[in-house]
A and B are shown apart, each in its own frame.
Chain A
């Protein structure tokens, strides 16, 4: 039995309903084809790690899911809605349920930590009072262990702190799906493991599904329910970390050596 057969059997049984369905996704930049007939389904409460080389199209994939990039062809269904066909208001409605942690954290330089966290709450047309906002900000910062940073500017934060604040900002709307773009890149090993633990803790707390883009194998090991290997624009294989770890396929092995 080859790896694909093993994986398909193990990932289709006993799954909850799908929250993200990607069908035949294609995306190219000029002659550079980054996604070529890519397929993936993410189920409720599932944590999928997309593994691939730098420049393989992993970040492009999650930017297509959140609607920051338009696919050339194919469908991306998030909670059953095709993202490419949604108008701006419908996309905003979906985005209240989908959090995105940027690789560079993307904290707004000109705003304090509090204002960074409040921004999504104030912008998404969600009816909340100032009292609710204060409580949500407090809860989000306590979740990441940094309540004392509330009035600090992003420039005053260390790399690990900035990542935690970015994570708090992502989680403040209590999203049902979270997309992580290389959450541990650029962090020291100790901080990276703390971020891994935080990702798992918050995912369990809010029962969120997630896609984690990474090539940090410790992050993959710590966070993945299922690992998908993106190679040549396609979903080359998928399976649990342990399944891929023992794979004889040279394309899979190179990531685990």
Chain B
């Protein structure tokens, strides 16, 4: 019985999130557009996430290279290390790791912020002040996450590749030009485009889930904490599900 109740709750919540996402297109995309708030959110969500994404990207590239190198030396393909690392970072590791970092930082932040606004009646106050809170709070944040994550991913990938370059140069000497030439000569359109496109969906998922959890936060500090926490968990799971779907689609389209 307990299992059935949990399943019902799960499907109810899935339906609610789908309806919430639908409202984003039907209500959130209609004029009047909150351009000033959108730009502010792009700054907070995008620019403020850059140091974290950059740091994790650099470490990710460095560590990946150092761990791959011994195995590649054994098989005598150490010269292929830049290509191997480059393709791995650009196709999969960069978008997914950046997406997860983004979900942790931004998903929780949006969930906690809107949850706190909900329990302190700030969302109601906004409505009384002649503002549609869905447009002002939700639509702006979802558009900002959808636009900012691809940009952060591209920047994160570039920094990760630089980390990989540093990793290669710990044991050998390679010029920056040669390292990046090898990577870009081996990359094709099918490596880059699907990886970037899927990050728009990652960003949308992080924004919608964060806003949904905050917007429907239950009363009290525990409710706010729970909103922030469940926003991160659900957004992270959705990132993996979208990634799984993306790889299937690119496979069907012959882009793998």
A: which residues have CB within 8 A of B? 63, 66, 68, 88, 92, 95-96, 100, 102-109, 119-120, 123-125
Contact = CB atoms under 8 A, between A and B. Distances in A.
Contact of A108 (B125, B128, B130): B125
A124 B120 CA distance: 22
B132 interface: yes
A215 B128 CA distance: 24
B122 A109 contact: yes
Contact of B128 (A95, A105, A109): A95
Main secondary structure of the interface of A (DSSP, over half): loop
Contacts of A66: 128
Contacts of B121: 102-104, 106
A103 B219 CA distance: 14
Contacts of B126: 108, 119
Contacts of B125: 100, 102, 106, 108
A103 B117 CA distance: 14
B127 interface: yes
A96 B129 CA distance: 8
Contacts of A124: 129-130
A92 B129 CA distance: 8
Residue from A66, A109, A123 having most chain B Cβ neighbours under 10 A: A123
A175 to B, nearest CB: 10
A125 B122 CA distance: 20
B9 interface: no
Contacts of B145: none
B129 A120 contact: yes
Nearest to B121: A106
Interface in B121-166: 121-122, 124-132
B236 interface: no
